[in-house]
Amino acid sequence: MHCLLVRLSALGDLVHALPVYAALRARYPEDRVGWLVKTSTPLS
């Protein structure tokens, strides 16, 4: 299974999503869990 956590645009969103990430990793240790985040600063 592949899981993508999406629409995390602020630090608070990331902090609140960490328990979900941990639960997914515990339940599906061999599967891939990724993050899709919006950066708030331009990259060089």
pLDDT score for 27: 93
pLDDT score for 31: 92
Rounded to 5°, angle at Cα 41 from 36 and 44: 100
Domain spans of the chain, in order of start? 2-37
Query: What are the pLDDT digits (tens) for 5-14?
Result: 887 677 777 8
Query: What are the pLDDT digits (tens) for 1-44?
Result: 788 888 767 777 788 889 998 999 999 999 998 888 777 666 65
Tokens representing 11 are: 């630090």
Cβ pair 2, 32 in contact under 8 A = yes
